[in-house]
Structure 1
Amino acid sequence: MDITLSQCFIATSDHDTAVPFYRDVLGLEVRKDVGYADMRWVTLGAPAQPGVDIVLEPPLADPNAAPEDRKAMDELLAKGLLRGVIFATEDCDATFEHIRAAGAEVLQEPVTQPYGVRDCAFRDPSGNMIRFAQPHRS
């Protein structure tokens, strides 16, 4: 069996602030922008990975979800307790400085980890933790 990653999902409370962050700060390209009922999905991806999409979606992307469930998911997102994503980078320190200069909330400055990467972490505009990892150079 030969499988590959196709899509991953990141919850967002506000596409209008999330899209500029992922597009303009991180350099991802917008591939699709779809609305349905009161919801919206925006698909982005790295130009170097045309087969992998990141979908910005509502915290509870189910049109039939109960209002109390939507509220609970919104609260979890606001606390930063939903999904996280790790991006690969060739230069963690330069990536860190670029994203910090754009005003993103810093969670962790670049650190060389004992498990084989140098990484840093930020919050996106919705509160999700996103990390940037550079493999150790041998």
Structure 2
Amino acid sequence: MNFTSVRIITKEIQPLVRFYEKVLGSTAIQYTEDFAELRTPLATLAIASTRTLALFGGDDIARPAENRSVIIEFRIDDVDSTYQALTGFLGNSLVQKPVTMPWGNRSLLFKDPDGNLVNFFTPVTDDAKQRAGTI
């Protein structure tokens, strides 16, 4: 089994697509007005409108902008330079400036337009780099 993607359900797809294109520095593939993907080498971030819920069994199976338990994480090359590049863009969505966590990752935490937590991190200790397979 391979983990391949996370899908965010939203009422308004375009603001999330534009946000993630900016912070990830990539272009989304928009298959329909209700579904887009941003692909990375290891996994895909999918963004879908609430209208797609009917395809999975009904409108009540997910609620947009109510996530309070998941953090969407991306390993990046340099958290500090990314933070500097995004500072003006993130504005009030910034939750925590870059800080080194006890497990060895340097982490930048912010929220997307729907309030989902996003963590950009860079392994900085030898142990964290080894876990990430970067040394």
**TM bucket by the smaller chain?**
0.7 to 0.9
8 Å CA contact retained: 2:104, 2:125: no
**Amino-acid identity (%):** 24
Runs (5+) with no aligned partner, structure 2: 127-135
Do structure 1's residue 18 and structure 2's residue 16 form an aligned pair? yes
CA RMSD in angstroms, aligned pairs only: 2.5
Question: Using the alignment, how far apart are the partners of 1:94 and 1:59 within structure 2?
Answer: 35
TM-score by length of 1: 0.74
8 Å CA contact retained: 1:121, 1:131: yes
TM-score by length of 2: 0.75
Which has more helix, going by share of residues?
Answer: 2
Question: Using the alignment, how far apart are the partners of 1:113 and 1:83 within structure 2?
Answer: 18
Runs (5+) with no aligned partner, structure 1: none
Query: How has the CA–CA distance of structure 1 residues 60 and 85 changed in structure 2, closer, same or farther, with 3 Å as cutoff?
Result: farther
| Matched length | 123
- Residue 121 (structure 1) aligned to one of 80, 87, 109: 109
Do structure 1's residue 57 and structure 2's residue 48 form an aligned pair? yes
8 Å CA contact retained: 1:7, 1:54: yes
Query: How has the CA–CA distance of structure 1 residues 4 and 20 changed in structure 2, closer, same or farther, with 3 Å as cutoff?
Result: same
Give runs of aligned pairs for residues 7-86 of structure 1, distance below 5 A.
7-35=5-33, 40-46=34-40, 49=41, 52-58=43-49, 61-63=52-54, 64-66=57-59, 69=60, 73-74=63-64, 77=65, 79-81=66-68, 83-86=70-73
